[in-house]
């Protein structure tokens, strides 16, 4: 999806707030509201305003590219599902109050999907009949609804939230394991591209089911889960994921190397094993945010929903399945928890709403306006996403707004620089400033 490459703040909808909103308890929620990224519509349900929307789309695109890279195919299933499918799997009753149930005008039971195992299995069952149809992975990026008892922390625990959910179909458990491992590698790559160190941890399977599962956790004091791991995982370079994806042994070896050190969420934690395996000074007990969760559940859904294929020997077998979730909207908050300072958000470049903030310190001055307009056009021509603060506001307001919304690079144009032939370039993360010619700034940022 193509996002608008350049905007002027004077005509943009960016309702920033100077003060902290009273009801936001954690920093990401406060900063998302203050920077005008989101607006709460009702408990756990949000609108995504222009800045927030851009971030959401960037996160989504990284997730998409990494799914495509491992050969998963994108589809789109509806948000509203029929209760009948869920009766077949037995989850209609099991799901309880978290499921939002709806009756249509013909008195048919419908529901707002909290996840899609049943529907995708039904799609597969109707069309795939032979071993030639597997292995297969499909995914979609769609809004889910879970009527959480305690929606809180903004988009981190919403009721309506955006999820990427992928599903794998294989002939036997060994092939299923390979699909699971490929997703595992895609997850490592996905989070590291967003500037996050997400640690895979052994986890409970809850209402999804199955007996193999990992949660991907980023550490943050405000995280909802208590986690335990070997310190080496915090030092481990999780970006080293270069492996031949069609070599199951090599993929397994890479997954093994990441899962060998102790790492577990509280439901799976085993104090004795933790103490036996990890020396005292290497034991990390922390809080974390679950940004993804993957499951392997064999024939839990394929059996009741009739998703079977014929083997090359003519035998009928239920397919082996796994499902793989990424909390796309939760990540917007999770990344802020990991990337902020006292002045606001510090976006990693890969998910920043814009790469460059162009700040005109004297709007209406012929000199500064000229340099800014010229740079604004040239950034666009070079394909660099730019937000141009062309408001008639005090410099202080512009500085604090651009710091707050966290654009990685600021180009500051004032009358002094125009006279001397330079602009100022500021790195939002390090605070480093440099004076250079407008051409040099353009060359650096277009690189």
Query: From the CB of 67, what's the least distance to ligand 5CA, in Å?
Result: 12
Query: From the CB of 206, what's the least distance to ligand 5CA, in Å?
Result: 7
Verify binding: residue 290, ligand 5CA, rule CB under 6 A: yes
Query: From the CB of 260, what's the least distance to ligand 5CA, in Å?
Result: 23
How would you list the strands of the sheet with 356-360, edge to edge? Answer: 6-8, 386-389, 356-360, 409-413, 423-427, 433-436
Q: Single out the residue of 144, 126, 116, 154 nearest to residue 295, CA to CA.
A: 116
| Token reading at 16 | 């920033």
Among 292, 344, 353, 406, binds ligand 5CA (CB under 6 A): 292
Residues 316-336, buried b or exposed e (16+ Cβ, 10 A)?
Answer: eebbbbbbbbbbbbbbbbbbb
Nearer to ligand 5CA, 170 or 290 (CB): 290
Query: From the CB of 315, what's the least distance to ligand 5CA, in Å?
Result: 29
Nearer to ligand 5CA, 113 or 353 (CB): 113
- Interaction residues for ligand 5CA, span 152-191 (CB under 6 A): 157-158, 161, 163, 165
> DSSP string of 416-427?
HHHHHT-EEEEE
Nearer to ligand 5CA, 73 or 416 (CB): 73
User: Are 29 and 156 within 8 A, CB to CB?
Assistant: yes
| Token reading at 23 | 């009801």
Nearer to ligand 5CA, 297 or 379 (CB): 297
Count residues near ligand 5CA (CB under 6 A): 20
Beta-bridged to residue 161, according to DSSP, are 144
Residue with tokens 């308890």: 25
- Interaction residues for ligand 5CA, span 360-389 (CB under 6 A): none
- Exposed / middle / buried, residue 379 (Cβ in 10 Å: 0-12, 13-18, 19+): buried
Query: From the CB of 169, what's the least distance to ligand 5CA, in Å?
Result: 14
Query: What would the x/- binding string for ligand 5CA be over residues 89 to 118, using CB under 6 A?
Result: --------------------------x-x-
Q: Which residues contact 48 (CB under 8 A, 6 or more apart)?
A: 37, 38, 56
Among 58, 293, 340, 428, binds ligand 5CA (CB under 6 A): 293
Query: What would the x/- binding string for ligand 5CA be over residues 194 to 233, using CB under 6 A?
Result: --------------x-------------------------
Q: Which letter does DSSP use for residue 152 in this model?
A: B
Query: DSSP 3-state helix, strand, coil percentages of the chain (rounded to 5)?
Result: 40, 30, 35
Query: From the CB of 329, what's the least distance to ligand 5CA, in Å?
Result: 6
| Token reading at 140 | 């979609």
Nearer to ligand 5CA, 199 or 413 (CB): 199
Query: From the CB of 425, what's the least distance to ligand 5CA, in Å?
Result: 36
Query: What would the x/- binding string for ligand 5CA be over residues 309 to 328, using CB under 6 A?
Result: --------------xxx-x-
Angle between helices 328-338 and 50-69 (to 10 degrees): 110
Query: Rounded to whole angstroms, how far apart are CA atoms 23 and 25?
Result: 6
Verify binding: residue 148, ligand 5CA, rule CB under 6 A: yes
Which residue number is nearest to ligand 5CA in terms of Cβ?
327
Query: Rounded to whole angstroms, how far apart are CA atoms 146 and 144?
Result: 7
Query: From the CB of 310, what's the least distance to ligand 5CA, in Å?
Result: 27
User: Are 104 and 149 within 8 A, CB to CB?
Assistant: no
Query: Rounded to whole angstroms, how far apart are CA atoms 243 and 254?
Result: 8
Nearer to ligand 5CA, 290 or 385 (CB): 290
Verify binding: residue 66, ligand 5CA, rule CB under 6 A: no
How far is CA 88 from each of CA 204, 236, 302, 303, 379, rounded to the nearest angstrom? 24, 43, 11, 10, 55
Nearer to ligand 5CA, 160 or 390 (CB): 160
Interacting residue ranges for ligand 5CA, rule: CB under 6 A: 115, 117, 146, 148, 157-158, 161, 163, 165, 208, 290-293, 323-325, 327, 329-330
């Amino acid at each position: 999806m193509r996002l608008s490459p350049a905007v002027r703040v004077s005509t943009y909808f960016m309702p920033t707030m100077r003060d902290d909103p009273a009801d936001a308890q954690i920093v990401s929620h406060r900063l998302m509201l203050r920077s005008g990224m989101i607006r709460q519509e009702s408990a756990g349900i949000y609108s995504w305003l222009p800045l927030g929307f851009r971030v959401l789309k960037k996160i989504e695109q990284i997730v998409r590219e990494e799914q495509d890279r491992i050969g998963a195919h994108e589809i789109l299933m509806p948000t509203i599902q029929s209760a009948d499918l869920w009766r077949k799997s037995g989850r209609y009753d099991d799901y309880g109050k978290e499921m939002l149930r709806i009756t249509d005008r013909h008195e048919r039971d419908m529901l707002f999907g909290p996840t899609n195992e049943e529907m995708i299995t039904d799609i597969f069952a109707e069309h795939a009949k032979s071993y030639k149809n597997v292995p297969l992975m499909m995914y979609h990026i769609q809004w889910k609804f879970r009527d959480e008892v305690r929606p809180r922390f903004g988009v981190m625990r919403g009721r309506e939230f955006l999820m990427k959910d992928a599903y794998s179909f294989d002939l036997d458990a060994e092939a299923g394991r390979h699909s699971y491992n490929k997703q595992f590698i895609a997850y490592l790559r996905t989070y590291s591209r967003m500037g996050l160190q997400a640690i895979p941890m052994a986890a409970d399977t809850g209402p999804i089911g199955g007996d193999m599962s990992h949660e991907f956790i980023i550490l943050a004091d405000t995280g909802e889960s208590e986690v335990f791991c070997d310190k080496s995982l915090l030092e481990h370079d999780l970006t080293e994921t270069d492996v031949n994806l069609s070599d199951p042994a090599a993929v397994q070896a890479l997954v093994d190397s990441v899962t060998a050190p102790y790492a577990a969420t509280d439901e799976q934690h085993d104090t004795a094993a933790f103490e036996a395996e990890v020396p005292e000074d290497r034991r990390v007990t922390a809080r974390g945010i679950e940004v993804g969760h993957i499951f392997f559940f064999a024939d839990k859904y394929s059996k009741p929903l009739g998703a079977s294929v014929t083997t090359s020997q003519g035998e009928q077998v239920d397919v082996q399945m796994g499902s793989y979730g990424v909390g796309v909207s939760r990540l917007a908050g999770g990344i802020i928890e990991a990337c902020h300072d006292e002045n606001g958000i510090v976006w990693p470049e890969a998910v920043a709403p814009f790469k460059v903030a162009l700040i005109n310190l004297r709007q209406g001055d012929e000199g500064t306006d000229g340099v800014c307009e010229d740079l604004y056009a040239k950034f666009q021509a070079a394909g660099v996403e730019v937000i141009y603060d062309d408001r008639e506001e005090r410099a202080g307001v512009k500085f604090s707004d651009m710091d707050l919304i966290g654009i990685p690079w600021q180009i500051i144009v004032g009358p002094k620089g125009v006279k001397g032939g330079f602009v100022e370039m500021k790195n939002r993360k390090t605070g480093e400033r440099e004076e250079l010619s407008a051409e040099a700034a353009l060359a650096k940022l277009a690189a």
